[in-house]
């Protein structure tokens, strides 16, 4: 265990408090212990955002449950450290009528003195992420082959290295779960106001405005000129008050992945 990893397990360490407020936001004490153990086991650094915890609503448990996630680079790093991994040929795709059906990833694993090919297939209908209006989210629309390829590669790596990667999932694999979560979350009880708005909508807007502002501040390191340009590029407006409620919702729909990764919180949980 490295000195950095040992420091994560020290009771009262300031790092633990920082992790709980950022990449493991909202976790219970037991979930945090499991997260820190997984970070230590995999050798990934939470403070470098190589690994993070996401809490999602579970219909079965009737509560939020934690998923520990990393990016595809985190998976590759863990596999590389075994000394028994090598990249394989480029991902192959199957398409029908101009539409992607599946992606098959190829990697190599050494067992003893011999190298073996390991493959896994990810299907578009199981992993592609769509918005509520039925259109693809920004990343899946812009880079469909790359996104599905990452899902297939994650499956192949987990098949080849189950002990090292058990209990750890990539962000791309879990995107579909974020879509399901938005469908299954219980509807809040709302009370009408005299002007026709709803209490829940006003509270939701306040949270979204705060989260958007914090994200832009972090992206621009509090540079006011950068912040103004960033806000306008994201929203098409110059001021927050110029955004209608529906327009603000659309901004969060388009940028929910980036904002969620910045916060270490579930995607789309306004």
Q: What is the mean pLDDT of the chain?
A: 80
| Residue 221: per-residue pLDDT | 75
Q: What is the mean pLDDT of residues 194-203?
A: 53
Residue 221 is given by DSSP the state T
3-state secondary structure 60-108: CCCEEEEEEEECHHHHHHHHHHCCCEEECCCCEEEEECCEEEEEEEEEE
**CA atoms of 204 and 198, how far apart (whole Å):** 10
Whether residue 269 is predicted with pLDDT greater than 70 in this model: the reply is no
Whether residue 188 is predicted with pLDDT greater than 60 in this model: the reply is no
Q: What is the mean pLDDT of residues 2-28?
A: 70
| Residue 93: per-residue pLDDT | 97
| Residue 21: per-residue pLDDT | 85
Taking the CB of residue 72, how many other CB atoms lie within 10 A of it? 18
pLDDT-based confidence at 101, cuts 50/70/90? very high
Whether residue 67 is predicted with pLDDT greater than 80 in this model: the reply is yes
Residue pLDDT, tens place only, 88-99: 999 999 999 999
**CA atoms of 103 and 85, how far apart (whole Å):** 20
**Residue 11 Cα distances to 35, 68, 180, 224, 268, angstroms:** 14, 21, 36, 39, 32
């Amino acid at each position: 265990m490295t000195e950095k990893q040992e420091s994560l397990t020290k009771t009262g360490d300031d790092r633990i408090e920082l992790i709980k407020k950022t990449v493991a936001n909202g976790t219970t004490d037991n979930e945090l212990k499991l997260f820190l153990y997984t970070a230590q086991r995999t050798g990934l650094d939470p403070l470098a955002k190589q690994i993070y915890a996401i809490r999602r609503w579970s219909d079965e448990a009737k509560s939020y449950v934690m998923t520990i996630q990393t990016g595809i680079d985190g998976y590759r790093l863990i596999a590389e450290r075994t000394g028994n991994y090598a990249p394989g040929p480029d991902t192959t795709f199957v398409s029908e009528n101009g539409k992607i059906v599946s992606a098959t990833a190829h990697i190599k694993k050494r067992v003893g003195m011999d190298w073996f090919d390991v493959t896994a297939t990810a299907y578009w209908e199981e992993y592609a992420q769509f918005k509520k209006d039925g259109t693809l989210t920004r990343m899946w629309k812009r880079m469909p082959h790359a996104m599905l390829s990452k899902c297939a590669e994650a499956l192949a790596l987990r098949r080849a290295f189950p002990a090292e990667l058990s209990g750890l999932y990539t962000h791309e694999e879990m995107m579909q779960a974020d879509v399901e979560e938005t469908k299954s979350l219980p509807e809040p009880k709302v009370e009408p106001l005299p002007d026709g708005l709803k209490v829940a909508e006003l509270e939701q807007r306040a949270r979204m405005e705060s989260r958007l502002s914090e994200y832009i501040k972090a992206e621009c390191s509090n540079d006011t000129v950068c912040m103004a340009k960033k806000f306008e590029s994201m929203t098409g407006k110059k001021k927050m008050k110029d955004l209608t409620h529906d327009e603000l919702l659309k901004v969060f729909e388009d940028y929910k992945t980036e904002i969620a990764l910045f916060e270490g919180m579930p995607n789309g949980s306004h």
